[in-house]
Each structure stands twice: as C-alpha cells, then as structure tokens.
A and B are shown apart, each in its own frame.
Chain A
Amino acid sequence: MDWFRKEKNKTLGVAHGKRRYDIPLTQKDGSGFLVLLVTLMSFLVLIITDGAFLMSTLSNRWQSGLENKVTIEIPAERNDGSIMTPAQLDKLGKRVMAIIDGHKIIKQATLMKKEEIQQLISPWLGHNDTMLDTLPFPVLIAVELNTRDPDALKEIEKKINKLSPEASLDTHEDWLNDLLRLTSTLKYAAFFLSLMILLTTATAIAGAVRSSMSAHHQELELLHLMGSTDRYITRQFQRYIFILTAKGAAIASVLVFPILGLAYALSNKDNSALLPSFAIEPVYFMFLALCPVLMPLFSVLIARWTVLKSLEEMP
C-alpha cells in the first residue's frame, strides 16, 4: 500500500515522505558507485587487518613457545666423516643428559626417541619405514629452561663439546628472528596497504563530493543567497555521505564472514606443525563490529573538509 501511495503521489507531483535534503543529493548522483567502492575498500581493509592480526598472533605464539626452549643435537656423523653406531649415539646421549640434568637453569630435559625424531622429519621424508630405518638419526634432547641465561648456556655447550665436538646447542634464535622479522615486515606491509586503501577511499569520497557540489551548484548558490552558513550546507553532505558509507561498510563486514569461515576451515583441515590453527582474536571481532561506524566517520571527516574547502571558493 505504501508503494502504491508513493507511486500515486509521484504521478500527481505530490512530495512524499519526509524532506531529507535541501540540496537534491539523491537525484543525479552516483551513490551506487560510492556504496560499491566503500564496500570493496572496507572489505579489503578488513581482510588485510585480519591478516595482520593473524601475523601478530603467530609471532606471539612463536616467541612465547620457544622463548625458554633449546635443543641439543649430536649428529650421527663425526667431523672426520665416520658414522657413529646407534649404540654409540645412545651412550653419548645419556652422558649429555647426565651433564645437564640437575643444572640450575634446566627445568626439564627429554631425550627424544627414534620414533619421535622420525615423526618430526616425516613431513619431508614421508613414512617409508624401510628407508627411515637405514638413516643414521642424530641424538636430539629437548630442553626446557627455568631462565634464559646466555652465560649458563655457553657453559653447558662447552661441557657437551668436550664429550662430542660435533654437538651443538640450538637456541632457535637465528631462525626465530628471521621469522619474526618476516612477520613484522608483513605487519608493516598490511598497515601500509590499509593506509593506501584509506587514502584511495578518501580521494574517491572527496571526488564524489566535489562532483556532487558541482552538479548542484545552482542550489548551493541559492542556499547561500538565503543566508545559509557553511555548516548548514556541510551538515547535509555529511549526512548523505554517512548513510552511503555506513551501508557500504556494513555490507563489507557481512561479506568478510564467509571468507573468515573458509580460512578457518582450510587451516584446520591441514594441521601444520609450523602454523597454528586459524583463530580470530576478540579484538578483531571488535574491529569488525566497529567498521560500519569507523569507516563512515572517516568518510564524514573527508566530506566535511572537502565541502568546507569548496565553499570557500563561493562569493
């Protein structure tokens, strides 16, 4: 019935509904384009931000997971090229265990079994038992520390090297630092990309506002001659842009959910030893919920600045 009343009024030339804008902003406009643009830009920002949050979670997990852990490795091959027998390696492992056991900085030390080592290298060599049985496996001791004391670690390494010059104490620092540098770079790249997207959005909004002002120059001039202030005119553009961009940002927030769901499903399907399972931080959900408010507020600021600047050019 409401539709019928509107159509009838339109035919009769009667104004329907409440007056929304003194400037006919909803006529001859490109509002569809602006909504689409904000939807795409918000969507990209949300995906990139999610990536940045994930990177941050990963680096935190790596740091906290490996902070107090070291690994002692005694390779099966001696420096002279000869290969130690499993019995020799087993004996050597036990002697190293005797050195480190009871040391004040050691919380726990575990001599890894052959099966455990096989499992560790299985992602690269597969589960071919016949081949794995013939390989000379090193001795690996997983050590958990009470505190990370570099001097005490050096002292332990020295003692181990007296037993076996080939033995090494791996603090994981080298590869962990590389990974942390990589994640940090990716985080900065995500931040930079988000910034570029916001700048592009701002430019597009400013362009849309300017073109709308140019299309409605006659009406703007009339309002000016009637004594309207710049604020009065600006408020109308702000409201118009807020509504359009809120629509776009809300659509983007809804569209992000299936993508997150897909990422979640994929990450849990293939359980990687290196990558933790995909989990969305509560802070990201907060960001997702705030996007339909933050994006329009940002757009309103851009629209306000553009309108005020353009009005300065009027007599």
Chain B
Amino acid sequence: MIKFEHVGLRYGIGPEVLSDVTFTLEPGSFHFLSGPSGAGKTSLMSLLYLGRKPTRGMVSMFGRDIAPLSRQQLVPIRQRIGVVFQNFRLLSHLSAFDNVALPLRIAGKAEKEIKQNVKELLEWVGLGDNMYMLPPTLSGGEQQRVAIARAVITKPRLLLADEPTGNLDDEIGYKLMNLFEQLNRMGTTIVIASHNQQMMERFQHTKLVLHDGTLSVQKSENWVKKKLKGVF
C-alpha cells in the first residue's frame, strides 16, 4: 500500500536528512518508528503525510506514485491519512468539537452526522464535558486527545502519530493505544513515532528504526504471526 524506494530528503542545499530509505507498509499493518532525536523521524513522517516531496527516490501511496500527481490529485490521498502532530497543531480559535469536526467538514459530511460522530468520539476519549472549550484552556493531555480524535474521526486508511502518548498518563496512554489497535484491526495502517520503549515492548509491532537518516526494519513476533495467518 505504501512503498518507499531509495528515498532521500534534503532541505535546500544541506546534507541529506534521509538517505536511501526503503520500506513497505502493508495494508492493516502496525509500525513503530523509533530512533534517537535528530535521526529524521519527523522528516520521514512529513513525507508520509505528504507535507513535502522527496528529493530523490520513489514514494507510492495507495498504489499511486505521488511524484507526477498534481496538488489537486493529492487531495483524495491526503483525505485517507490521519495525522497526530507532535505539537498537536490544534486551531486555537476553534472549540475541541470544531477541531475534531474539521476533517469531516473538509470531506463534506452532513452536519447531523458530524455532530453525532464527534460527540461520541470526544466522550470516548474522556472530553465529553470539555467539547466546547478552546484548546488553550485545555491541559496538554486533553489537547493531545483532541488531536488524536481529530486524526481518527474519518477512520483513515493510514494513521500517523508523532509521540501520541507523550503527554498522557499511563492509563489514558494505554487506552489510546488500544484505540489505535482497534482501528488497526478494522484495517487502518498505523505508524507511531515514539521514544517510549516500555510501550513498544508491551505492544509488539514491527519497528522502523532510523539512525543518522538511514532506516532498518525490525519485524516483530506479531508481524510474523500475522504474516503466517495471511493477514497481509
């Protein structure tokens, strides 16, 4: 479904921050993206959510090579991707409800459907009482939950999350990981950038490890079991 072949990325005339990155994300797979700070995790995530184009190599998403696609042709691909940004990137003038409703409004869903789905999801992530609060008045953990709710509201085919459980206490963190697993079981491909070794050990998934801009893949037991069962 998502294929990176010999992908390189550099900013301006600087050195390559990603070099010869090659991997494939099967539909319905679950990956952790790890590596030390400055290894290129955020750059790789930006390539995955189509925030930028690679300087070399080939990126194919949902069966389409993205290089020749125009901005307008990228729209339906972007609508299939949910992103939880490290700094949340919530719109501070909109309530938690409107932030979560945004992807549905962009997709042109009816207001009745939006109201029902958003309320349900916000209640599920424990923000039922705060849904009309503005993000600056919410705690870091609450903002993160709004960001996660916004990323999953459209049931995306690919979910990218940059340190999604970083500001959350263990209980809510694991609850959200369970939500990601639930989405994954429904067919969503998930990539989570994380430093949390404990969580990565608890939830056994394939690890994409970045080091100095180069990537190595560490298949998990889970992956092997799924492969043997023919899930991919």
Residues of chain A having any CB pair with chain B under 8 Å = 12-15, 19, 22, 24, 27, 218-219, 221-230, 232, 311-312, 314-315
Residue in contact with B75 in the complex, picked from A14, A218, A227, A315, CB distance below 8 Å: A227
If A14-B133, A19-B95, A227-B103 are given as contacts, then 14 extra A-B residue pairs at C-beta distance below 8 Å, sorted by A number, are A15-B97, A15-B133, A15-B134, A19-B94, A24-B93, A27-B93, A222-B91, A223-B106, A224-B78, A225-B51, A226-B83, A226-B103, A227-B106, A229-B72
Q: Which residues of B contact A228 (CB under 8 A)?
A: 75, 106
A226 and B77 CA atoms in complex are apart in Å by: 10
Q: Which residues of B contact A230 (CB under 8 A)?
A: 71-72
Residue in contact with B137 in the complex, picked from A13, A27, A225, A314, CB distance below 8 Å: A13
Residue of B nearest to A229 (CB): B75
Q: Are B105 and A22 in contact (CB under 8 A)?
A: yes
Residue of B nearest to A10 (CB): B134
Number of contact residues on B: which range applies?
Answer: 20 to 34
Residue in contact with A226 in the complex, picked from B72, B78, B93, B136, CB distance below 8 Å: B78
Q: Are B52 and A315 in contact (CB under 8 A)?
A: yes
Q: Are B136 and A13 in contact (CB under 8 A)?
A: yes
Interface centre among A222, A227, A229 (most CB of B within 10 A): A227
A115 and B97 CA atoms in complex are apart in Å by: 87
Q: Which residues of A contact B103 (CB under 8 A)?
A: 226-227
Q: Are A227 and B78 in contact (CB under 8 A)?
A: yes
Residue B98 is within 8 A (CB to CB) of chain A in the complex: yes
A232 and B137 CA atoms in complex are apart in Å by: 28
Known contacts A225-B49, A228-B106; A13/B134 CB under 8 A: yes
Q: Which residues of B contact A229 (CB under 8 A)?
A: 72, 75, 106
Q: List 10 A-B contacts (CB under 8 A).
A: A19-B98, A226-B83, A227-B75, A227-B76, A227-B80, A228-B106, A229-B106, A230-B71, A311-B71, A315-B53
Q: Mark B61-95, 1 if CB is under 8 A from A, else 0.
A: 00000000001100111111101000001011111
Q: Which residues of B contact A227 (CB under 8 A)?
A: 75-81, 103, 106-107
Residue B102 is within 8 A (CB to CB) of chain A in the complex: yes
